[in-house]
Amino acid sequence: MDLTDDINATLNAGSRKKGKKRIFILVLILMLAAAGAYFFLLSKGRPGGSPDAGMSFKTEPAAVTDIHVTVSATGTLEPTNKVEVGSELSGTIQDVFVDYNDQVTEGQVLARLDITDLQAQVRKSEASLSSARASVRQAQATVEETDRKLKNLKKVREISGGKVPAQTDMDEASANYTRALADRAKAKASVAEVQASLDSTLTQLSKADIISPVNGIVLTRDIEKGSTVAASFTAPVLFTLAEDLTKMKLNVDVDEADIGVVKEGLDAHFTVDAYPKRKFAAKIQQVRFNATTTDGVVTYETIMTCDNGDLALRPGMTATADIIVAQADQVLSVPNAALRFAMPKPGETTSKPSLLRMFMPGPPRRIGRPAKHVTITGGNDLDTLWILDENKRPRPVSVKAGLSDGINTQILEGDITQGTELIVSATTKDT
Tens of pLDDT along 294-328? 999 999 999 999 999 999 999 999 999 999 998 88
Poorest-pLDDT segment among 48-57, 85-94, 132-141, 246-255: 48-57
Same domain, 172 and 217: no
Q: How many CB atoms lie within 10 A of CB 19?
A: 10
Instruction: Give pLDDT tens digits for 82-133.
Output: 999 999 888 899 999 999 999 999 999 999 999 898 889 999 999 999 999 9
- Asked, for residue 104, whether it belongs to a domain, the answer is yes
C-beta of residue 168 within 8 angstroms of C-beta of residue 153:
no
The confidence band for 15, taking pLDDT boundaries of 50, 70 and 90, is low
Q: What is the pLDDT of residue 107?
A: 93
Give the model confidence (pLDDT) of 349-359 as tens digits: 444 444 444 44
- Assign residue 249 the CATH number of its domain: 2.40.30.170
Q: Pick the closest to residue 213 from 318, 44, 84, 324 (CA basis).
A: 84
pTM of the model: 0.60
Query: How crowded is the C-beta side of 303, counted as CA atoms within 13 Å?
Result: 11
- Give all strands of the β-sheet with 228-229 in edge-to-edge order: 209-211, 109-113, 91-96, 228-229
Give the pLDDT confidence score for residue 354 in this predicted structure: 47
Last residue of a domain, one of 293, 327, 361: 327
Residue 71: what residue type?
V
- Percent composition of the chain: helix, strand, coil (DSSP 3-state, to 5): 35, 35, 30
DSSP labels, 142-167: HHHHHHHHHHHHHHHHHHTTT-SS-H
- Strand, helix or coil for residue 99: coil
107 lies in the same domain as 227? yes
d(CA 319, CA 157): 99
How would residue 371 be classed by pLDDT, with cut points 50, 70 and 90?
A: very low
**What per-residue confidence (pLDDT) applies to 367?**
34
Q: Assess whether pLDDT exceeds 90 at residue 284.
A: yes
Q: Residue 336: pLDDT above 80?
A: yes
Same domain, yes or no: 203 and 215:
no
Q: What is the CA radius of gyration of the chain?
A: 49
- Which helix (H) or strand (E) segment holds residue 414: the answer is strand 408-414
Asked whether residue 46 is domain-assigned, the answer is no
CATH no. for residue 122?
1.10.287
Average pLDDT, the chain: 83
One domain for residues 337 and 298? no
Three-state DSSP class for residue 353: coil
Question: Looking at the domain assignment, is residue 21 inside a domain?
Answer: no
Together in a domain, 323 and 344: no
Indicate if 278 and 299 belong to the same structural domain.
yes
Cis peptide before 51, with omega less than 30 degrees from 0?
Answer: no
pLDDT value at residue 52: 57
- pLDDT of res. 234: 77
State the distance between the two ends of the chain, measured CA to CA, in whole angstroms.
67
**pLDDT confidence bin for 45, thresholds 50/70/90:** very low
Q: Is residue 29 part of a domain?
A: no
Tell me the longest C-alpha to C-alpha distance in the chain. Answer: 177
Q: Where are the alpha helices (DSSP H) in 160-255?
A: 167-206
CA-CA distance, 176 to 295, in Å (whole number)? Answer: 83
pLDDT reported for residue 48: 43
Higher pLDDT among residues 42 and 252, named by residue: 252
Percent of the chain with pLDDT over 70: 81
CATH number at 219 reads 2.40.50.100
Range of the domain at 59: 55-67+331-428
Helix axes 167-206, 116-159, angle to 10 degrees: 160
User: Is residue 380 situated within a structural domain?
Assistant: yes
Q: How many domains does the chain have?
A: 4
Categorize the per-residue pLDDT at 364 as very low, low, confident or very high, splitting at 50, 70 and 90. very low
Going from the C-alpha of 276 to that of each of 248, 273, 280, 321, the distances in angstroms are 18, 5, 10, 12
Q: Under a CB-based contact definition with an 8 Å cutoff, are residues 104 and 241 in contact? A: yes
Q: Which of 349, 406, 425, 382 is nearest to 46 (CA)?
A: 349
End of a domain among 327, 342, 362? 327
